[in-house]
Amino acid sequence: MSNSLFCSKCGMMKNSCICKNSNSLNKNSNVSSTKTPKITESAEIPDSYSISDHSLPKNIINQMKKGFPNIDDQIIENFPFENPREGQLEIISDINEAIEDGFKYIILEAGTGTGKSGIATTLSRMYESAYILTMTKQLQSQYANEFGFPLVKGRGNFYCLQDDLDSTCDIGTCKTTPSSKNFFCPYGVGKNPTLGATEAFEDSFGGPIFFQSDEHCHYWQQKANSINSPITLMNYDYAILELNYVKHFAPRNLLILDEAHNIENKLMRSMELNLYNKSLQNDIKKSITPNIVKQGDIKDWIMEVDAIKDAYNDIDIKDLPKNKAERINSTTRRLKQLKENLEKEPKNWVIDPNEAGVSFKPLRVHQYAKDYLFKHGEVCLFLSATILSHKMFSKWLGLKPQEVYHIKADSPFPPAKRPIELKIAGKMSANRVKYTAPKTLPILEEILKRHKNDKGLIHTNSYKCQEYITKKMPSGRLISHNSLNRERVLDHFEKSKDPLVLASPSMSEGVDLPYDKCRFQVIYKVPFPYLGDKQVNMRKKRDQRWYAYKTVMTLMQAYGRGMRAEDDSCYTYILDGDIRMLFKSPMYKSLVPEFFKEAIIERD
């Protein structure tokens, strides 16, 4: 296997092999944070998606029509699988009727196993114009691999042809040449066609964009293919930037928002602005005014933001590299928007200054969600296993009850396949964790012994708890990660045949670990949002229900990581005594789903 693409030691691709930087992954290992981007060559760029090319054979479609006479033909003709799951076609029919009845916002709350991706694919094909947004690269890859949808990626994933493939497109010649220089890239695109140029795509304004030659930049080729496809995959960060500012992609009939329970957080982070004194000094030779940091009110901060904006606006960018000029323009634009938001809704913003600078974070996004995201689809379909309360969810996103249609489908997995055992060590709250943590160690040792041949996941909820476990536990099976190497360690964990146990504070969602990839998991600490965060603290003071909602939602997401199919199984243990409060407090109890409660077993 000497010619294999994968390392024989760690199982990862050789160009991002762990073994280069670390002899092994042991209980205290933190894999080198150096990231090697996965570069997409032209041969790997998918063509524009064709709905007809991905249809089932006619004989299969005809068989399905006979088997489901009450389902509309259009649904069956666009369904991607030969054998639908129980209730799957009925859910699609229900959503389609809601769209025909004029509902713009449809929430599908469907547990793992109901086949949400197949539902999304069928509706995307039916309406022939859709964006599918996902939170993680793993989910993007699942959609792309299973259904053949084009996935639009950033410049850093492609080599620059102009630089003879020596650099990626994010630092290629077209991004590092000053705007004042007369630079022409024969591989790129432009609004003014050269002789014999072919049209690449139409932007959102209907204007044609042309390739400059027959040999196309790989980045622009995949983007053109994605724009020209009736169905396109994006992640939320790329979509928010692209749809609102670049505007090459036009609005479509259907906007499908997967992992929708995270939309509020994603919008909050996209609107958040951090100003660092070090960057300000480099850009405009200015720092945040010290007196405002100490005792400035909202009016002072508005004036400060306006002054910083004007300073950025005065920068002469014509001789700057284009990528730096774009960053300056982006910062100016964001400062202008922040000033307007602070003036319009001063009480909706958390201003958190420190020695390094200042951060501005919104408390709610109900006023912004439609303009930032929802307006880019005629109909918005929200998909999640954990909406918990569609009324709260709608309110926090600024949606009116009469605009929203809600469908709920519980997970079909029997409780016996996904049991939850309470092995309480004590309360793990901030003032109790130092007393309880030592009591968790023998419990963890017992769990690891019981599952000595199984891979498992420990949800620590914080790096502090993760560090405590990995330092105190003598097991060589334990591995961990830091904030920089999470993806690489997760990849190693998934591919390894050894019974590894991954201790992590950030695997509660966006991670798919079916079958032997995860046979048991531990909820070490109930995932209450961190009150040391000023934004979280103020939000909780204003709305206790929001804090309860976020806690239960994160817990439900963590619970679902290891149980992914009808013939799968995963055992879950809960060590934190605060779990009992979730079953007793009316505010929390009303949010905990029945499918979670029915899986709990208590042993002496």
- Does residue 429 surpass a pLDDT of 60? yes
Across-strand partners of 131?
A: 232, 255
Q: What confidence tens digit (pLDDT) does each residue in 205-227 have?
A: 999 999 999 999 999 999 999 99
- Is the Cβ–Cβ distance between 259 and 510 less than 8 Å? yes
CA distance 158 to 37: 9
Domain ranges of the chain: 157-223, 274-358, 415-599
Structure tokens given for 386: 């954990």
| Mean confidence (pLDDT) of the chain | 90
- pLDDT given at position 28: 42
Structure tokens given for 579: 């779990």
CA distance 200 to 602: 62
- Does residue 553 surpass a pLDDT of 90? yes
Q: Which residues contact 273 (CB under 8 A, 6 or more apart)?
A: 334, 335, 338, 359, 360
Write phi, then psi, for 242 (nearest 5 degrees): -65, -50
CA distance 485 to 302: 38
- Does residue 183 surpass a pLDDT of 80? yes
| R_g (Cα) of the chain, nearest Å | 26
- Is the Cβ–Cβ distance between 150 and 49 less than 8 Å? yes
Q: Which residue has the higher pLDDT, 163 or 464?
A: 464
Q: What confidence tens digit (pLDDT) does each residue in 302-339 have?
A: 999 999 999 999 999 999 999 999 999 999 999 999 99
DSSP line for 169-226: GGGSHHHHSBTTS----TTSEESSPPTT--EEEE-TTS-EEEESSSS--HHHHHHHHH
- Is the Cβ–Cβ distance between 576 and 523 less than 8 Å? yes
- Does residue 447 surpass a pLDDT of 90? yes
- pLDDT given at position 170: 92
Q: What confidence tens digit (pLDDT) does each residue in 346-362 have?
A: 999 999 998 899 999 99
Across-strand partners of 459?
A: 504, 523
- Does residue 378 surpass a pLDDT of 70? yes
Instruction: Compute CA distances 399 → 220, 239, 268, 370, 372, whole Å.
Output: 36, 20, 16, 9, 14
Write phi, then psi, for 390 (nearest 5 degrees): -70, -25
Report residue 166's pLDDT band, with 50, 70 and 90 as the boundaries.
confident
Write phi, then psi, for 545 (nearest 5 degrees): -65, -35
- Does residue 3 surpass a pLDDT of 60? no
- Does residue 449 surpass a pLDDT of 60? yes
Q: Which residues contact 570 (CB under 8 A, 6 or more apart)?
A: 417, 418, 518, 519, 520, 521, 561, 562, 563
CA distance 57 to 77: 9
- Does residue 111 surpass a pLDDT of 80? yes
**Order of strands, sheet of 208-211, starting from the edge strand that comes earlier in the sequence:** 189-190, 208-211, 199-202
CATH class (in words) of the domain with range 415-599: alpha beta
- pLDDT given at position 43: 52
CA distance 572 to 457: 9
- Does residue 567 surpass a pLDDT of 80? yes
DSSP line for 452-495: TTS-EEEE-SSHHHHHHHHHH---TTEE---SSSHHHHHHHHHH
Where b means 16+ CB within 10 Å and e means fewer, 461-478 reads bbbebbbbbbeebeeebb
- pLDDT given at position 355: 86
- Does residue 121 surpass a pLDDT of 60? yes
- pLDDT given at position 39: 65
**Residue range 50-78: mean pLDDT, rounded:** 96
Residue in 169, 149, 147 with CA at minimum distance from that of residue 157? 169
**Residue range 550-575: mean pLDDT, rounded:** 94
Give the side-chain half-sphere CA count within 13 A for 433: 14
**Residue range 425-435: mean pLDDT, rounded:** 93
**Residue range 459-483: mean pLDDT, rounded:** 95
**Residue range 286-302: mean pLDDT, rounded:** 93
Write phi, then psi, for 119 (nearest 5 degrees): -65, -45
